[in-house]
Structure 1
Amino acid sequence: MKTLSKIAFCLSLCLLGNQAFAKDKLIVWESDQNGIQALTKVAKEFENRYDCEIELSQYDTVHQIEKVIELNSKNERSPDVFIMMSDKLGMAIHENAVSPLEFMNEDHEQYLKATADAFKLDKTYYASPRSVETLVVYYNKDVVEYPFETFNEYIDYSKKHAGTEKYGLLAKFDNFYLSYGILSGFGAYIFGINADGSYNRDDVGLNFNNASDGLSMISDFAKNHMPKDMSTDKGWDLMDELFIKGKAAAVITGPWSLQKFAQAGVNYGIAPLPLLSNGKSPRPFFGCKGYAVNAKSENKSLAMKFIQVINEEKNAIKRYEATAELPPLKTVLSNPLILNDDFASGIAIQAEKADPMPSIKEIGNVWQPMNDALYQAISSKHPDTKKLLDTAVENIKAQYDK
């Protein structure tokens, strides 16, 4: 028995020894291989500095929070650090999937205020801004020397080239994300703002002011100045194809198109969205992606340190160079490398004339009703745009708390 006791004692010491020398491990999710490539070197340096292990994995940004929630609910190993989109903050908090980031109480001043605020609720920050994106105009310099300043000028270009299958401006206006800027330029908004700065889900302003005039403009432009297939599932590929071939002077899209156009050798430029028929500027969404810490992480403190390191200026610039996703750090935006980058400066300029994506969970109720209204407006000969928007708002509110 004494021998068995000694063996058991030795095994216990071995187990305790293994635990004592086991390194802390962080699982970090990035959006794609470009993002992973940008983090690899800094992750190695972090491992050496903090005697830990970092596992970099790829997962689609759009669905990261949903996957984190799913894994947490099953008590399965989930990432310590992941990318959260600002419009999903409400969902993440509701599902207890994210931890407050105490360091952001001071570090928020390093970022554009609107981007830090996008991850803030009740004076608490839940993510550190990673990148900001918004819609811009890509124009083909081999087709037009300079971008036009107004939608009407792009319409005139299309009319001038009628019958030649050449177009002035293309965009997927049947998609609410793409069309919101026009509606907001006519006075629409998604949710009103309470006195404390929070969103009021009961104040839906998508049929407010002259929003119906904006929907009428979208309807007319899509039906009369773009190919019919633009408002179908083929529209995305068709838009890119026509732009690359020089048959479209300009397109409205986001940072995700940059690599494709560059690889195709398009001689493109970047410009803000053109003025609307009412003379005002569109206010598209600007979206933020942020690094968040999983509420179920066993290494929250280490995870927060890692986020602070990868968002340092030098590391953020390297990530931008690899991903073309612009970090909203003030020092990055004032860096000569960024100031002299037409794409980065174009995004930064348009972001100043953009609305943040609402971060409450009810934003999820908005997309389908508004996409339905856009489809009806574009596909109908004589749409009642006011009625379509009234119906959309009713359908948005009808989904609350279901």
Structure 2
Amino acid sequence: MIKKVTLAVSAALFLANNAMAADNIVIGVEKNYVPYFNELATKFNQGKDFKVEVTAAKMFDLLEALPTQKGNVADLFMVPNDRLGDLANQRLIEPTNFEIKGYTKTSTKSANYDGKTYMLPMSTDTTLFLYNKDMLKTPPKTLKELAPSDWAAKFTDFYFTGGLFMANGGYIFKDNNPQNIGLDNAGSIKAGFAAQALYNSGVSHWTLMQDDTVAYDIMMKNFTEGKISAVINGPWAIADIEKAGINVGAAPIPSWDGSHPYQALTGTKGIAINGYSDNKDGARAFLKFAATPEYANKWYEMTREISPNLAVHYEEGSIHKAIFDATNAGMPMPNIPQFGKVWGPMKIALAQIAQGQNVKGALDAAVETIAIDIEDM
């Protein structure tokens, strides 16, 4: 693994070692983002006594190398918001020292940890209500009004199910406090029973989807073959759906029963500053330069990824507008390190619920495990 990481970031290391001697700045980003940042760097570099250089580096490989390589990787790099707290606690990333303005509340919150802003939001995504417009003319007001035979969702996976908990009055951490876990409160138990009722409906695809290892494929197969009219899935699935000839529409996920909004877990990626950079002021200057409506629009134009900047125009009725609206209405994945302890226990609990086991018992056990794991951190 170490060898793989070293090879993956070798280009960034080479550029960084050469650039830092002159207090130049290296931006390490995925290959498809290099043209965008090259364009910004060309404009930013004019009249500066240091230069910004851009190199291709895989995000997760770079982040894995960061604790050991520290200042030998790029000065600026992309970070997913759920890693922010852990990186900040290790002082591997540095606050931006300026307020992020003109972005959605969700992305602004995602960029903030412990009262400080740690990244410039660049792109955001979440799960959506995707529907076959030839079978369903408009999205329903609530999910509950859909017959189980008409739709599917991978509710054995907490990434897909988190919003269902919020839609019934549950929560993960109250006010981001890891000592206050709400995944077994009354609302969460109600969500568990809602999911279990779908799996117990006798509808064949829900029965088969009790097995998490095949659930996603079964959901997509039924949708792309026109057997069901809607699924809960992410933007990444749209290309395959369109390729199958489905006239697909997209919308933010409706409430479960109208009692609470469906707040799908939302992820935001942004550019952060290396805590070991030799030119943090220059890195901050570049981020401030990039934090404008002009460059947010340029990001969308060049990458076709959804920018959370409020000045970016998405055509009304388009899938991209639906994605933007859904991310704006979603709930940022918590960026505190303790959130990482939620996935495993909830995966077990959701599998037990899907297989007909006691809902309250499964959620109580999950929360107990999460609390113990957090205490042991």
Q: Is 1:326 matched with 2:295? A: no
Q: How far apart are the structure 2 equivalents of 1:300 and 1:264?
A: 48
Tell me the number of residue pairs that the alignment of Structure 1 and Structure 2 aligns: 355
1:131 aligned residue:
123
How far did 1:20 drift?
12
Identity of aligned pairs, percent?
28
Q: 1:97 aligns with which of 92, 95, 108?
A: 92
Change (3 A) 1:182 1:245: same
CA contact (8 A) 2:152 2:230 kept: yes
Q: 2:38 aligns with which of 37, 40, 49?
A: 40
Q: CA RMSD in A?
A: 2.7
How far did 1:215 drift?
0.5
Q: How far apart are the structure 2 equivalents of 1:151 and 1:20?
A: 54
Change (3 A) 1:101 1:249: same
CA contact (8 A) 1:132 1:328 kept: yes
Q: How far apart are the structure 2 equivalents of 1:34 and 1:265?
A: 27
2:276 aligned residue:
296
1:209 aligned residue:
186
Task: Give CA-to-partner distance per residue, 1:194-223, whole Å, 9 cap, x none.
Answer: xxxxx3211111111232121011122134
How far did 1:53 drift?
4.7
SS of the aligned residue for 1:207 comes to coil
What is the 5 A alignment of 1:57-206?
57-60=56-59, 65-72=63-70, 77-102=72-97, 104-105=98-99, 108-155=100-147, 158=149, 168-193=150-175, 199-206=176-183
Task: Give CA-to-partner distance per residue, 1:270-297, whole Å, 9 cap, x none.
Answer: 1121331465432222222221001011
Q: How far apart are the structure 2 equivalents of 1:26 and 1:234?
A: 45
Q: 1:372 aligns with which of 311, 332, 348?
A: 348
Which amino acid is 1:148 matched to? P
Which amino acid is 1:354 matched to? G
Change (3 A) 1:302 1:276: same
Can you give the 5+ residue segments of structure 1 that lack an aligned partner in the other structure?
A: 1-18, 159-167, 194-198
Q: How far apart are the structure 1 equivalents of 2:91 and 2:196?
A: 41
Q: Is 1:398 matched with 2:372? A: yes
Q: Is 1:240 matched with 2:220? A: yes
Which amino acid is 1:294 matched to? N
Change (3 A) 1:221 1:260: same
Q: How far apart are the structure 2 equivalents of 1:367 and 1:90?
A: 17
Q: 1:361 aligns with which of 337, 345, 357?
A: 337
TM-score normalised by the chain length of structure 2: 0.84
2:362 aligned residue:
388
How far did 1:393 drift?
0.6
Change (3 A) 1:262 1:291: farther
How far did 1:353 drift?
3.3
CA contact (8 A) 2:264 2:331 kept: yes
How far did 1:47 drift?
4.3
Which amino acid is 1:59 matched to? K
Which amino acid is 1:26 matched to? I
Which amino acid is 2:158 matched to? F
CA contact (8 A) 1:171 1:251 kept: yes
Which amino acid is 1:376 matched to? Q
SS of the aligned residue for 1:397 comes to helix
Q: 1:252 aligns with which of 219, 224, 232?
A: 232
Q: Is 1:283 matched with 2:263? A: yes
CA contact (8 A) 1:132 1:286 kept: yes
SS of the aligned residue for 1:298 comes to coil
Can you give the 5+ residue segments of structure 2 that lack an aligned partner in the other structure?
A: 1-17
2:54 aligned residue:
55
Change (3 A) 1:152 1:21: closer
Change (3 A) 1:379 1:52: same
Rg larger in 1 or in 2? Answer: 1
Change (3 A) 1:267 1:34: farther
Q: How far apart are the structure 2 equivalents of 1:123 and 1:274?
A: 32
CA contact (8 A) 1:64 1:83 kept: no
Change (3 A) 1:343 1:64: farther
Deviates more, 1:368-377 or 1:250-259: 250-259
How far did 1:317 drift?
2.1
Change (3 A) 1:263 1:318: farther
Q: How far apart are the structure 1 equivalents of 2:226 and 2:302?
A: 27
Change (3 A) 1:36 1:220: farther
